[in-house]
Amino acid sequence: MKPELTINILLDEAGKFAEIESIYDEPSLYGVTDGKAVGTYLEHKFMAYLSQAYTYEAGNSASGIDFPELNLDMKVTSIRQPQSSCPFKSARQKIFGLGYNLLIFVYEKSDDNQSRTGRLNLQHTIFVDKACTADYQMTRGILDILKNDGNTDDLIAFMQDKNLPVDDIEALNIAEEILNTPPKQGYLTISNALQWRLQYSRVIQRAGDVPGLHRVR
């Protein structure tokens, strides 16, 4: 029987995988510039790597994340523009977090014209606890309002200024929830769209310095 995957094991294996992959020359990646194709390649390879030694439930379209038992989603992004998309479930995610953990592989891709291979140098491998997955500026602004004795009107005005995609009733509900249960400081940059656009530059900069942002490698 293979042992079950845990978050600690996953992070340990992610670090080992990143070291191995960073010196591996892959013919199928030669000339590939599509970030989605690179991400799919790396995600599938990491899943295959894990399945050799561990049992775990793989994600599907219903769960929406790669490791539902661990409440964790994997993201692969280029160091040139470290960002990716994720499903939009609720405007509350921008304030209270995505609701799940993130494992982020940040790569720099290079091609070898002589061997006609591509290589992914995994420069950063970072774990983001779900408690840190809200939007940085949104949570910082809300926490500043609360420090200055802000009320529901102040919070609603702030959400409107930030163009949070909610109607008046939901804005009031969120404002009351914030007063009862203030959000934690988030560290992602989350842009409004049909899908959330997550940006990771701050996570990369602060990993290892902030509780909940763990630098795996």
E strand or H helix at 85:
strand 83-86
Q: Is the pLDDT of residue 63 over 80?
A: no
Enter the DSSP assignment of 196: E
Residues 143 and 166 in one domain: yes
In a domain, 59, yes or no: yes
Structure token digits, residue 80? 């040139």
Residues 125 and 140 in one domain: no
Domain that holds residue 211: 7-82+100-130+194-215
- The label of the residue with tokens 């409107």 reads 160
- State the pLDDT at residue 34: 94
* CATH number (domain holding residue 105): 3.40.210
Q: What is the percentage of the chain residues whose pLDDT exceeds 90?
A: 91
Query: Averaged over 40-57, what is the pLDDT?
Result: 95
Residues 106 and 174 in one domain: no
Burial of 201 (0-12, 13-18, 19+ CB in 10 A): middle
- State the pLDDT at residue 193: 73
pLDDT band at residue 181 using 50, 70 and 90 as cut-offs = very high
Query: Averaged over 146-167, what is the pLDDT?
Result: 96
CA distance 130 to 134: 8
Q: Is the pLDDT of residue 194 over 80?
A: no
Residues 118 and 78 in one domain: yes
Query: Averaged over 16-32, what is the pLDDT?
Result: 96
The CA dihedral of 81, 87, 88, 93, to the nearest 10 degrees, is -80
The contacts of residue 212 (CB under 8 Å, 6+ apart) are 128, 129, 131, 132, 187
SS3 content of the chain, % helix, strand, coil (to 5): 40, 25, 35
